[in-house]
């Protein structure tokens, strides 16, 4: 199935990255957020990324203009109505995602695929808000989208083989490597592995065993990871780590290993969500 028009719901960290990679493969893209200011911020982020690519000699200036020209930012949901696929990237809240999918289901023709970039949540439950659960799946990109190679393709209970094949093919056209998550299970592969790692790192700091900086140094140099867990949380959003941990606790038998450390909750209450708020575990205000 040829993808000509791609809809993206949410122009935040992930939404604008997804819009960019979709436009880079020649598709027309409509990126929708709830306020003009958020749409503009998303468009600016794309412009900034592409401008750096031009400066580095990786992209022609004319190609940058062509990519930007294929992206339309809007607050109008109905602009997505003739998309071949819509990829949802609103915040990690199940009720919000379900209401977005219900609205998209009523708006888009039955053949449109509806994909979610959720980090952890049930595709079966999201799909149940629509009348086309066979054409709903997870398409989990990683941050920053234009640079990170992996996309997890996740099956809900009723996702068809055709939907998996089409979304996987689209991700590959975007230059990504795909893995198939065969069963709908919280956090899929990567976050199921990563969240315990983040929780332990916070507990080590909370218990006074080591500093934030030293935990990051230890993980980078002892495990050969490119980033430490605190640097990674600041990049991806401390709120996302918290929402995912809370979801795991609820969904994975309320096991104590998924309980959010107090320090994580304190960061959320203080509004210190990472780079996007100018500060998190580290300060980015300067």
Ligand X SMILES: NC(=O)c1ccc[n+]([C@@H]2O[C@H](COP(=O)([O-])OP(=O)(O)OC[C@H]3O[C@@H](n4cnc5c(N)ncnc54)[C@H](O)[C@@H]3O)[C@@H](O)[C@H]2O)c1
CB of 81 to ligand X, least distance (A): 15
Active site residue 51: no
Strand ranges (E), 15-112? 28-32, 71-74, 85-88
Euclidean distance between the first and the last CA atom of the chain, given in angstroms as a whole number: 47
Binding of ligand X by 236 (CB under 6 A): yes
CB of 230 to ligand X, least distance (A): 14
Binding of ligand X by 240 (CB under 6 A): yes
Q: Which range, of 193-201, 215-223, 234-242, 277-285, touches ligand X by CB under 6 A? A: 234-242
Contact 122, 186 (CB under 8 A): yes
Q: Which is nearer to ligand X, 113 or 195 (CB)?
A: 195
3-state secondary structure of 111: coil
Active site residue 191: yes
Task: Tell me the backbone φ, ψ of residue 209, rounded to 5 degrees.
Answer: -75, -40
Task: Output the CA torsion sign for 282, 202, 276, 148.
Answer: positive
Strand ranges (E), the chain? 5-9, 28-32, 71-74, 85-88, 113-116, 136-141, 150-155, 177-181
Active site residue 197: no
Q: Which is nearer to ligand X, 10 or 133 (CB)?
A: 10
Task: List the interface residues with ligand X, window 53-92 (CB under 6 A).
Answer: 89-92
3-state secondary structure of 274: strand
Q: Which of 276, 277, 189 is nearest to 15 (CA)?
A: 276
Binding of ligand X by 10 (CB under 6 A): yes
Q: Which residue's CB atom is positioned nearest to ligand X? A: 12
Q: Which is nearer to ligand X, 10 or 280 (CB)?
A: 10
Active site residue 78: no
Of 45, 117, 140, 168, catalytic: 140
Binding mask 90-129 for ligand X (x = CB under 6 A): xxx---x---x----------------xxx----------
């Amino acid at each position: 199935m040829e993808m000509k028009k791609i809809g993206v719901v949410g122009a935040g960290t992930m939404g604008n990255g997804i819009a960019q990679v979709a436009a880079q493969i020649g598709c027309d893209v409509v990126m929708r957020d709830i306020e003009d200011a958020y749409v503009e911020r998303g468009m600016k982020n794309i412009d900034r990324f592409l401008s750096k690519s031009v400066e580095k000699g990786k992209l022609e200036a004319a190609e940058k203009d062509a990519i930007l020209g294929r992206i339309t930012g809007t607050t109008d949901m109905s602009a997505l109505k003739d998309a071949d696929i819509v990829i949802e990237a609103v915040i990690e809240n199940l009720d919000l995602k379900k209401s977005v999918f219900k609205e998209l289901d009523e708006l888009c023709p039955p053949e449109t695929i509806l994909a979610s970039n959720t980090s952890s949540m049930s595709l079966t439950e999201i799909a149940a808000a629509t009348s086309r659960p066979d054409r709903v799946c997870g398409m989990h990109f990683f941050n920053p989208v234009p640079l990170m190679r992996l996309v997890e393709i996740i099956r809900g209970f009723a996702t068809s083989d055709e939907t998996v094949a089409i979304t996987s093919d689209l991700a590959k056209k975007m230059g990504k490597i795909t893995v198939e998550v065969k069963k709908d299970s919280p956090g899929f592969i990567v976050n199921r592995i990563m969240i315990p790692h983040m929780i332990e790192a916070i507990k080590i700091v909370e218990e006074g065993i080591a500093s934030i900086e030293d935990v990051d140094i230890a993980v980078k140099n002892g495990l050969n990871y490119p980033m430490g867990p605190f640097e990674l949380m600041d990049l991806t959003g401390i709120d996302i780590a918290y929402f995912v941990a809370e979801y795991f606790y609820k969904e994975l038998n309320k096991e104590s290993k998924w309980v959010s450390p107090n320090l994580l909750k304190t960061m959320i209450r203080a509004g210190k969500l990472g780079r996007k708020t100018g500060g998190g575990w580290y300060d980015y205000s300067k």
